[in-house]
Amino acid sequence: MTSPIRTERHDDVLVVISDSPPVNALSAAVREGLVAAIAEGSADASITAMVIRCDGKTFFAGADITEFGKPPVGPMLPVVVDAIEASDKPVVAAIHGTALGGGCEVALGCHYRVAVPSAVLGTPEVKLGLLPGAGGTQRLPRIAGVAMALEMCATGNPVPAKKAEAAGLIDRIVGETSLEADAIAFAREIAGKRPLPRASERGAKADPDAVAAFRKANARKFRGFEAPEANIACVVKATETPYAEGVHFEREQFMRLMTGVQSAAQRHLFFAERQAAKINDVPADTQLRPIKRVGVIGAGTMGGGISMNFLSAGIPVTIVEMQQEALDRGVGVVRKNYEATAAKGRMKPEQVAAAMAAFTPTLGLENLADCDLIIEAVYESMDVKKEIFAKLDTICKPGAILASNTSYLDIDEIAASTSRPQDVVGMHFFSPANVMKLLEVVRGAKTAPDVLATVMALAKKIKKVAVVAGVTYGFIGNRMLMPRQVEANKLLMEGATPEQIDKVHVAFGMPMGPFQMADLAGVDIGWHRDPTRIENIRDALAAEGRWGQKKQAGFYDYDEKRNPSPSPRVAEIIEEFRAKSGAGEKREVSDQEIVERTLYPMVNEGALILEEGKAQRASDVDVVWIYGYGWPVYRGGPMFWAEHEVGYDKLVGGLEKHGFEVAKSLKAKAKTPEAVA
């Protein structure tokens, strides 16, 4: 096998080049090649300096994640980085694209770094539940200071070249299109300079205030995760001990994280997210339909949020409402949102102006005739949706994609109201649609493969994580929400409180529990609106106007700032309903029972969805729950959690104990279901 690393001589400078698509990950072959190339340059008396650069779209994007968990082969990355740093001849990293993780560490091992203006440097290992394990946590604070090292290591956020230059991470910004030539020229300039600047030989200044402030500022974000604190501990260590001790500590921490379930979960998500983009029976090279203008029907919260995705990506949007007032309100909200983003410095005023200029409000559906994709985002009524789609059928140009943002309804039935069901698809955005990353793409029985492929590709363009779902009530996410809600309500009847149930969910790592979620979304959503018809606790709350946060009363009481507190009235309502419905004695419900009865059934539902072919793969189900509902990333999604944390035996045993009908596929995976039950 030919090595992905080759060397080219430019008189006295040896250029070491990696060609390992797609992202020059530091695989065993790349690592071996790098060590050999440095040895070659060191041994050749005519060489005075070396440059390391990469072919393709990026400098090394990190260790090869596919090798994790497998027996180590070839020189380990820390050895490679140390070999580069130990070279007696200066080595210059020439960076373009994204120097990430191990790639950034290779650059830090080099004596000098030059980069094109568009390059970024980062240590995103924390997002994989890890830390930079090739000396990164020790070299970064030595070069860039504690504050920047913390920011890079513990949040994983990358730093653009200019900022990196200001922090001393980059020695020179070079021409965008002349990286190699400029790096060689730079190498010649510094070839004779001694001593060589080796990061490991520098000291790192302690900054306890910066550390304390950083911990405080990120406490909420880091809740439940192990890796951020390990990153912080390593960076702090760099300020307290000599380099050799620091790397020893770094290695210990790295191995602890690498063998833990959190990192396994986060690495699972990395690949799951990329896998989700692939449609099993649609070739990757399917010809896509061009999407130059999008139409959105409905200027409410969803319609406005959906529009922003496209406007932000530079795709013009025509938005339709029935009343001028609603249209003006909807457009006003979008403008306000953009202005708020600009006020925070995350958008330039001219970008706001450009987005708004590409936004065309109208009262007439006929103005959607030139749109390539039309997304209907009106309220959940099959009749209304069918009427709209029938009209779109007469208005829209041939080949236009007709999408519905329905969260539950049957896409096939909607499609049947047109003469072109092959062009109809579901695009289920999550609220707030301009923020939430998930997009469920619902494939109808007749949806054409190129329609599906176009929508999946478009999702990436608007920075969504898209998952293909089949037609089933609630698709993947909401369908799995239903058994959770049913059980949570039953548990109230048996003696648990909304606070206890929510607390268990929050402790598990969810952003909120089922009742906090009900209060946020609106207790009245889907309510039959008849205050005399009280069939469950939710009806009883709705009948009293306890519609949730918007009414400052729901399952909780709220103050003006929307801070919740347990509600004595809700406790009474539950009691009244219990008495009326003849429920048995109240009992203590354990936290473990809440987990078994609200979370296990979600996994069961996920398994049924898979058995029915309504999701392509278990990891897609995980992606839906992580990006759509805030399932804790470090638990990898419900299906990963079931397999790796709970175990199928325990899961099936628990489900059977509580009388659930268990999915066949789960039973098959449990080794001894009868014994456990």
Q: Find the shortest distance in angstroms from Cβ 20 to ligand 3H9.
A: 10
Give the separation between CA 99 and CA 87, rounded to whole angstroms: 21
Query: Taking the C-alpha atoms of 525, 528, 530 and 533 in order, what is their torsion angle to the nearest 10 degrees?
Result: -110
Range in contact with ligand 3H9 (rule: CB under 6 A) among 1-9, 128-136, 193-201, 558-566: 128-136
Range in contact with ligand 3H9 (rule: CB under 6 A) among 58-66, 494-502, 526-534, 648-656: 58-66
Give the separation between CA 434 and CA 333, rounded to whole angstroms: 12
Give whichever of 133 and 304 is closer to ligand 3H9, judged by the CB atom.
133
Residues 274-313 binding ligand 3H9 (CB under 6 A) are 274
Asked if residue 648 lies in contact with residue 675, where contact means CB atoms within 8 angstroms, the answer is no
Q: Find the shortest distance in angstroms from Cβ 284 to ligand 3H9.
A: 9
Give the separation between CA 330 and CA 104, rounded to whole angstroms: 44
Query: Does 65 interact with ligand 3H9 (rule: CB under 6 A)?
Result: yes
105 is catalytic: yes
Q: Find the shortest distance in angstroms from Cβ 24 to ligand 3H9.
A: 9
Give whichever of 123 and 309 is closer to ligand 3H9, judged by the CB atom.
123
**Through-space distance between the first and last CA atoms of the chain, rounded to whole angstroms:** 53
For ligand 3H9, which residue of 8, 9, 39, 66 counts as binding (CB under 6 A)? 66
Closest CA to 543 of 555, 558, 533: 533
3-state SS class at 466: strand
Range in contact with ligand 3H9 (rule: CB under 6 A) among 133-141, 434-442, 443-451, 550-558: 133-141
Q: Find the shortest distance in angstroms from Cβ 277 to ligand 3H9.
A: 8
Query: Does 100 interact with ligand 3H9 (rule: CB under 6 A)?
Result: yes
The 8-class DSSP code of residue 202 comes to: S
Closest CA to 294 of 309, 284, 279, 275: 309
Query: Does 152 interact with ligand 3H9 (rule: CB under 6 A)?
Result: no
For ligand 3H9, which residue of 29, 52, 125, 234 counts as binding (CB under 6 A)? 125
Phi-psi map region of 631: left, alpha, beta (phi>0 left; psi -120 to 50 alpha): beta
Query: Does 673 interact with ligand 3H9 (rule: CB under 6 A)?
Result: no
The residue behind tokens 């995103």 is 124
For ligand 3H9, which residue of 52, 64, 231, 589 counts as binding (CB under 6 A)? 64
Query: Does 61 interact with ligand 3H9 (rule: CB under 6 A)?
Result: yes
Residues 18-47 binding ligand 3H9 (CB under 6 A) are 22-23, 25
Q: Find the shortest distance in angstroms from Cβ 456 to ligand 3H9.
A: 13
Q: Find the shortest distance in angstroms from Cβ 9 to ligand 3H9.
A: 29
Give whichever of 125 and 440 is closer to ligand 3H9, judged by the CB atom.
125
3-state SS class at 468: strand
Q: Find the shortest distance in angstroms from Cβ 156 to ligand 3H9.
A: 8
Give whichever of 63 and 392 is closer to ligand 3H9, judged by the CB atom.
63
Give whichever of 274 and 580 is closer to ligand 3H9, judged by the CB atom.
274
CA angle 43, 46, 48 (to 5 degrees): 85
Query: Does 129 interact with ligand 3H9 (rule: CB under 6 A)?
Result: no
For ligand 3H9, which residue of 33, 41, 90, 101 counts as binding (CB under 6 A)? 101
Give whichever of 133 and 637 is closer to ligand 3H9, judged by the CB atom.
133
Long-range contact set of residues 536-543: C-beta below 8 Å, sequence gap at least 24: 536/489, 536/577, 537/489, 537/492, 537/493, 537/573, 537/574, 537/577, 538/489, 540/573, 540/576, 540/577, 541/570, 541/573
Give the separation between CA 446 and CA 485, rounded to whole angstroms: 32
Give the separation between CA 612 and CA 619, rounded to whole angstroms: 16
Q: Which of 8, 32, 40, 105 is catalytic?
A: 105
Quick one: 55 exposed, middle or buried, by C-beta within 10 A (0-12, 13-18, 19+)? middle
Phi-psi map region of 210: left, alpha, beta (phi>0 left; psi -120 to 50 alpha): alpha
Q: For ligand 3H9, what does the binding mask look like between residues 237 and 276, x meaning CB under 6 A? A: -------------------------------------x--
Q: Find the shortest distance in angstroms from Cβ 27 to ligand 3H9.
A: 8
Asked if residue 368 lies in contact with residue 374, where contact means CB atoms within 8 angstroms, the answer is yes
Q: How far lies 514's CA from each of 254, 288, 507, 526, in Å? A: 36, 40, 13, 16
For ligand 3H9, which residue of 134, 150, 236, 651 counts as binding (CB under 6 A)? 134
Asked if residue 453 lies in contact with residue 286, where contact means CB atoms within 8 angstroms, the answer is yes
CB neighbours (10 Å) of residue 61?
A: 26
Closest CA to 620 of 465, 393, 398, 390: 465
Give whichever of 58 and 253 is closer to ligand 3H9, judged by the CB atom.
58
For ligand 3H9, which residue of 5, 37, 51, 63 counts as binding (CB under 6 A)? 63
Give the separation between CA 660 and CA 597, rounded to whole angstroms: 9
Q: Which of 125, 151, 376, 605 is catalytic?
A: 125
Query: Does 98 interact with ligand 3H9 (rule: CB under 6 A)?
Result: yes
Give the separation between CA 96 and CA 113, rounded to whole angstroms: 11
Q: Find the shortest distance in angstroms from Cβ 72 to ligand 3H9.
A: 10
Q: Find the shortest distance in angstroms from Cβ 112 to ligand 3H9.
A: 21
Query: Does 158 interact with ligand 3H9 (rule: CB under 6 A)?
Result: no
Q: Find the shortest distance in angstroms from Cβ 516 to ligand 3H9.
A: 33
Count of residues that bind ligand 3H9 according to CB under 6 A: 25
Q: What share of the chain is helix, strand, coil (3-state, %, to 5)?
A: 50, 15, 35
Q: Residue 648 corresponds to which amino acid?
A: Y
Q: Find the shortest distance in angstroms from Cβ 198 to ligand 3H9.
A: 19
Give whichever of 140 and 646 is closer to ligand 3H9, judged by the CB atom.
140
Give whichever of 270 and 408 is closer to ligand 3H9, judged by the CB atom.
270
Range in contact with ligand 3H9 (rule: CB under 6 A) among 98-106, 139-147, 423-431, 570-578: 98-106
Give the separation between CA 39 and CA 147, rounded to whole angstroms: 35
125 is catalytic: yes
Closest CA to 13 of 55, 43, 38, 46: 46
Asked if residue 180 lies in contact with residue 51, where contact means CB atoms within 8 angstroms, the answer is yes
Query: Does 71 interact with ligand 3H9 (rule: CB under 6 A)?
Result: no
- Where does this chain bind ligand 3H9 (CB under 6 A)? 22-23, 25, 58, 61-66, 77, 98, 100-102, 105, 124-125, 128, 130, 132-134, 136, 274
Q: What is the set of active-site residues?
A: 105, 125
